[in-house]
Structure 1
Amino acid sequence: MSQSVTLQVPATTANLGPGFDCIGAALTLYNTCQFSRLDAGELEITVSGVDAERVSTDQSNLLYQAFAKFYEQLGQVPPPVRIQIELGVPLARGLGSSATAIVGGLVGANWLAGQPLSTTEVMEIAIAIEGHPDNVVPALLGGCRLAASRGSAWEICEVPWHSEIVPVVAIPNFELSTAEARRVLPAQYSRADAIFNTAHFGLLVRALETGNPQWLQAALQDRIHQPYRQTLISGFDAVREAALQAGAYELVISGAGPTLLALTSPQQSASVCQAMSQAWQQQGISTQAIALAIDADGTKTID
């Protein structure tokens, strides 16, 4: 069994417009966590980086809760452990921060325990903790992933992401909780809206694979969550319009928001970044806009 392991866990963007709660992609923005088994003593957690002061350092820490859940699944007591967390993914912004904690805690526990569980088994525990697969699956496996249930099991499909499609995220300096973003959603949808999203999600999968600009522009439309959630995001219309004017194919809400995700070409990525940032600044909202890439590795060990 390992005495220490350091993991790098990617941020994720989920939904991608019409793919509500079933598709997500890992991004090149990371949290790292180091687990060191202690011979004796109490739990030790230190946190540094983005929003570090807001992360608990006791047993209520989400990463530790996932760590402990792993040992509970084995019927064992968690060992004394020191956990050092370095945050690069901001909290409550729609970039999968909770998924990084859940996946990091489970994978770290699996390493310290001698890897008794397979990646699939770890993934299933992560989905059970999170409640849906769209963030935890790409955080664990990397790439763009579609998850579909089959009874109590999950079928995971990798969705090819064309190298000419650049994800640009604009992260504002305000938060939006997932719970709040879910409260605004209707309990029922019309048949027309269900058909609309089915067609557009099918087109999205092909658009991501081929990089076809016209398909991307159409495919990112949604009637299930975005029309309701965008009302919670101050400046949404202005940022979207600025991104489109700068050459983005389309703009969507990343996860539950408030981070906004534009897909664009490599040639336009810098201008889209600048346009999104300026549009929010004109609304009095400071923001960080970054052109990222798709992380192909998922959670991995680092030296």
Structure 2
Amino acid sequence: MIKVRVPATSANMGPGFDTLGIAFNLYNEFEFSEDTKEIKFYGFKEEYSNEDNIVYKAMKACFDKCNYKPKGLKIALIKEEIPISRGLGSSSTCIVAGLLGANQIMGNPLSIEELFKIGVEIEGHPDNIAPAFFGGMVVSIVENKNVFYNKIDVKEGISFVALIPDFELSTSLARKVLPTDVGFKEAIYNISRVSLMISAFANGKYELLKYSCKDAMHEKYRSHLIKNYDLVYSKCISLGALSCFLSGAGPTIMAIIKSNDEDIVDNIKSFFYYEDISWDVKEFCIDNWGAMVY
């Protein structure tokens, strides 16, 4: 029996659109085996218990790469902590787990780098797949169909607080509201801020996040799809958050706080209670290990 654990991820990270992501200590766990004569799904909702299941699709991509034909498969979701369609990388956990599970079944003919490339081809961009595989904060790009990445050594002193709405937001809808082109001014805005933001994470100058963790390419378009976005964002900043950003395509808003500032989390929860905003509040640490097979 093969078990795979994959962490939640948060992509885009302010100005790091489609290139910057980070892994957190929230997990989905899967179990695989090749001991049946058919494909069986366990733990998934009925609508996902078929060959359109993204875990199965990732496994098939891996098998096809190696011309391997499994006798049959048992694919089980044994632990689900990451909510679906909330901007926390749920689909990436399925892709990464499927690739690792399939590779393990075949006796590990493919390297992690090769699996990573297949995962990016499936997902279409690397910003969630990279931290899901490798953990930590990761910058990643695609160049001539090759994928390159680099982990950032994030200095201690901060925590991440996920503000998770009680509704889903499909990635396809969030993509549709984006413009097909951006102006020169917006490009310079994001390039300058993502450069400053990465340096702030690398050397611990977190006071710079107030200025650097801002975006001009996607958040202003997607925020209109999220009820109470402006209210929640501005309140977190007023309560002392270092910065906030839209997690992935949303609807989750991620706040960055100082590690020793525990009052902010309680104050956010109180604010939600009195404003009758039914969002979940979860404080995360960075997962630096990434996906694990055991």
* Deviation per residue, 1:212-256 (Å, 9 max, x gap): 132111110110001111111111111112211222111110000
Equivalent position amino acid for 2:45 in 1 = E
| Same amino acid, percent of matched pairs | 34
For 1:271, the equivalent position in structure 2 comes to: 263
For 1:123, the equivalent position in structure 2 comes to: 116
Q: 1:287 aligns with which of 265, 275, 279?
A: 279
Q: Secondary structure at the match of 1:25?
A: strand
For 2:73, the equivalent position in structure 1 comes to: 81
Higher deviation after alignment, 149-158 or 62-71: 149-158
For 1:31, the equivalent position in structure 2 comes to: 28
Higher deviation after alignment, 5-14 or 82-91: 82-91
For 2:161, the equivalent position in structure 1 comes to: 168
Tell me the matched-pair count. Answer: 293
Cα root mean square deviation, aligned: 1.5
TM-score, normalising length: structure 1: 0.93
Aligned partners of 2:39, 2:23: CA distance in 1, in Å? 30
Aligned partners of 1:196, 1:113: CA distance in 2, in Å? 47
Q: 1:253 aligns with which of 230, 234, 246?
A: 246
- How far is 1:284 from its partner? 3.8
- How far is 1:277 from its partner? 3.7
Work out whether 1:43 is the aligned partner of 2:36: no
CA contact under 8 A between 2:100 and 2:293: conserved in structure 1? no
CA contact under 8 A between 2:37 and 2:71: conserved in structure 1? no
4+ long deviations beyond 6 Å? none
Aligned partners of 2:253, 2:215: CA distance in 1, in Å? 14
CA contact under 8 A between 2:68 and 2:106: conserved in structure 1? no
Aligned partners of 1:78, 1:64: CA distance in 2, in Å? 12
Aligned partners of 1:238, 1:54: CA distance in 2, in Å? 36
Q: Secondary structure at the match of 1:72?
A: helix
Equivalent position amino acid for 1:225 in 2 = H
Q: 2:290 aligns with which of 290, 298, 303?
A: 298
- How far is 1:267 from its partner? 1.6
- How far is 1:276 from its partner? 3.5
Aligned partners of 2:132, 2:220: CA distance in 1, in Å? 27
Q: 1:256 to 1:175 in 2, by over 3 A?
A: same
Equivalent position amino acid for 1:234 in 2 = K
* Deviation per residue, 1:165-214 (Å, 9 max, x gap): 21110111101111111111111211111111000010011011122132
CA contact under 8 A between 2:10 and 2:87: conserved in structure 1? yes
Structure-to-structure mapping, 1:1-303, within 5 angstroms: 4-38=1-35, 40-47=36-43, 52-53=44-45, 56-85=48-77, 86-268=79-261, 270-302=262-294
CA contact under 8 A between 1:175 and 1:258: conserved in structure 2? yes
Aligned partners of 1:54, 1:164: CA distance in 2, in Å? 43
Q: Secondary structure at the match of 1:107?
A: helix
Structure 1: runs of 5 or more not aligned? none
Q: Secondary structure at the match of 2:154?
A: coil
